[in-house]
Structure 1
Amino acid sequence: MTSGATAGPDWQAWQDSWDRQQEWYLPDREERFRVMLDMTEALVGPQPRVLDLACGTGSITGRVLRRFPGARTTGVDLDPALLAIARGTFEGDERARFVSADLTDPTWTEKLPHGPHRTPDGTYDVVLTATALHWLDTEALGALYGRLAGVVREGGALMNADRMPDPDIPRIDAAERAYDRERRDRERAAGVQDWVAWWQAAAADPVLAGPTVERFRIFGDPAAGDHADGEVQPLSWHVEALRTAGFAEARAVWASPSDAVVLGLR
């Protein structure tokens, strides 16, 4: 570095801190990603055109491109702070594109870039999303599944990894929640950042402060609760909603006591 040069933001450090914060909530997060990528390769091959839906910092994009160097990804999100990290991380990598769009807007798909990031017929091989769509209410998620059926090619797939509770297992749920609370308490005592602390750190960063203020304006302050409008649905609801949307097959391809990955095949 020449004298007087100023180092840019350490985007990889932000990616790493995001991963640690997310893993505090989801210790099996990497296992979900592995299954999603395994099923991507099984269904559409090793050079997929991927729509990384509600992409956040680009966690899925990074894992896709490491596993499939010939892939192309399009990340979509509305959060300006997380998109800033994603764009900074993948700056100069022509395989990754990022778009700001509101998934509740019926016209959001019009913002998706054309060209080599889509299949020849203008669709995608696979849509991947994780720990994101619980921000939507049930009606909005059903409508989103319908729109996504129109951007996935015939024979392509959608995979959604998220909280999918089963109302018929209250004792199992109670035991899992108690165990998870104890684990989180131990790890927080050891210094792991939770959701609120991570956003407080982002707000204090000179580069991310502006986008974070805008993020709070859109979604609310995490300290005050920013998931208020979201809803979760059981796995059976997701399977039925995907079939209703136009996916020929749908089922869970991974599950924990509280979460699942549901796959819809066009």
Structure 2
Amino acid sequence: MTPYKLDSRAWQESWDRQQEAFMPDREHRFTAMLDVVDAVLPDAAERSARILDLAGGTGSIALRALARFPSAEVTVADLDPALLAIADASLAGRATLVTADLREAGWAERLPHRGYDAVLTATALHWLTPQRLAELYRELTTVLRPGGVFVNADHMPDEALPDLSRRLVARADARRDARYATGAVLSWHDWWDRAALDPVLAPLVEQRHRLYSEPHSSEWLPPASWHLDALRAAGFAETGVVWRGGTDAAVAAVTTEVVVTPA
């Protein structure tokens, strides 16, 4: 009997469709994030730019980064064993995978190197508490090279539009629930239920449940201004919003460049 093999393409597609139910403009934010890398590293397509896909899950950002910058040296860091298994199969040796718990201060010690040109993350860091996220932002200044860039795309409602933001969220929830009801896409819970039936992923899903047994901070969704203040306090030289779609946004932060004064 032929041993069962994880179908990474099917699982990757399934993950993308499930995520797109939450974020119909998911590809837009990814493109905006990679545009930032291209702006900071105009020769990224030709040279081995170092990119860290932080809390990268199945490697969604890593796959798109490698498609756009084929020579990039990419690292995917995450704690979830099931999602990392999909990433490992999908990336097929084109990236370094690291198991890292961002809830712990020593997570960066697991990285293969420091001095990344770019650190990218999407829809992941809202699981952290406010205090821990502020600490993580400070830690990222030691992971990036001088002049490197960090981009975080996540749920960041516009505090100047509180009522409209509530209406946008309600509209998105209604459209998503309608798609779930018709079976057009899987919900988050349904996706994980199916992963738990896969012979390869099943034991990893069990391990995942143990890793995430403690309550998380998923309901804490501060506006972009909170992130910009925290990034400035962490020591980043430039901070700002580089993309917005409804109640989601991407903030970018650039580390201070080292200026060499001629002798």
Same fold (TM over 0.5): yes
RMSD (CA atoms) = 1.6
Equivalent in the alignment of 2:171: 179
Q: Distance in 1 between matches of 2:244 and 2:218?
A: 25
2:134 corresponding residue in structure 1: 142
Which residue identity is paired with 2:64?
R
- Partner of residue 151, structure 1: 143
Given candidates 7, 13, 24, the residue that maps to 1:16 is: 13
TM-score of the aligned structures, taking structure 1 as reference length: 0.90
Q: What are the superposed Cα offsets for residues 84-128 of structure 1, whole Å, 9 maximum, x if unpaired?
A: 11112122x3x30000011121111111113xxxxxxx4100000
Distance across 1 between alignment mates of 2:162 and 2:90: 42
Task: Write out per-residue CA displacement over residues 132-165 of structure 1, whole angstroms, 9 at most, x where no aligned residue.
Answer: 0000010000000000011111111000000112
User: What are the equivalent positions in structure 2 for 1:25-64 lying under 5 Å apart?
Assistant: 25-45=22-42, 46=44, 47=47, 48-64=49-65
Gaps (5+ residues) in structure 2? Answer: 256-263
- The question of whether the paired residues in 2 share the 8 Å contact of 1:136 and 1:230 is answered with no
Question: How do 1:51-200 residues align onto structure 2 when only pairs under 5 Å count?
Answer: 51-91=52-92, 93=93, 95-114=94-113, 122-191=114-183, 192-200=185-193
**By how many angstroms is 1:259 displaced?**
0.7
- CA shift at 1:5, angstroms? 3.7
Equivalent AA in structure 1 for residue 26 of structure 2: R
**Cα shift at 1:189:** 2.4
C-alpha distance in 2 between matches for 1:231 and 1:158: 21
Measured in 1, the distance between the counterparts of 2:218 and 2:29 equals 25
TM-score (norm: length of structure 2): 0.91
**Cα offset, 1:6, TM superposition:** 3.6
* Greater CA drift, 145-154 or 226-235: 226-235
Q: Tell me the amino acid that sits aligned with residue 232 of structure 1.
A: L
Which AA in structure 2 matches 1:14? Answer: W
Q: Does 1:247 align with 2:236?
A: yes
Deviation at 1:227, TM superposition (A): 4.5
**Aligned pair 1:263/2:262, yes or no?**
no
Distance 2:164 2:234 in 1: 31
Q: Residues of 1 paired with 2:129 and 2:177: CA distance? A: 29
For structure 1, the residue ranges without an aligned partner over 5 or more in a row are 115-121
Amino acid at match of 2:55: A
